[in-house]
Amino acid sequence: MISLFEAFFELQKAPHQTLFSRIPFSMGDLIYIISGIFLLYYLIRLLNKRSRNGAMIRLLVLINIFYFTYQIFWGMLYFQTPIIKKLSRQEAPELNRAKIAALHYLEKCKITRQLVKENQHGVFVITDLKSIRQEILHQQTRLPTYISDKKVPQISAIKPSLFKSVMSFTGILGYYNPFTAEAQYNAELPSTFIPFTTAHESSHQLGFAREQEANFVGYLTGIDSGNMDLRYSTEYFTLKSLLRFISVHDPDFVKSALDHYSPAMKRDRAYEKAFILSHQGWLDDFFGFTNNLFLKSNQQEGSVTYSYFIDLLLNYEK
For residues 177-203, give the mean pLDDT. 95
Task: State what percent of residues in the chain have pLDDT above 90.
Answer: 67
Domain ranges, residue 115:
79-317
Residue 67 has pLDDT above 60, yes or no: yes
Q: Quickly count: other Cβ atoms within 10 Å of residue 148's Cβ.
A: 19
DSSP state of 144: -
Residue 305 has pLDDT above 50, yes or no: no
The answer to the question of residue 145 being in a domain is yes
For residues 253-260, give the mean pLDDT. 96
First to last CA, the chain: 33
Q: Give the pLDDT band (50/70/90) at residue 57.
A: confident
Residue 250 has pLDDT above 90, yes or no: yes
The answer to the question of residue 134 being in a domain is yes
For residues 33-49, give the mean pLDDT. 84
The answer to the question of residue 42 being in a domain is no
The answer to the question of residue 259 being in a domain is yes
> What integer pLDDT is reported at residue 61 of this predicted model?
84
The answer to the question of residue 1 being in a domain is no
Residue 248 has pLDDT above 80, yes or no: yes
DSSP H/E element including 234: helix 228-247
The answer to the question of residue 20 being in a domain is no
The tally of domains found in the chain comes to: 1
> What integer pLDDT is reported at residue 91 of this predicted model?
65
The answer to the question of residue 221 being in a domain is yes
pTM over 0.85: yes
Q: Quickly count: other Cβ atoms within 10 Å of residue 211's Cβ.
A: 23
The answer to the question of residue 16 being in a domain is no
Phi/psi at 80 (5° precision): -60, 165
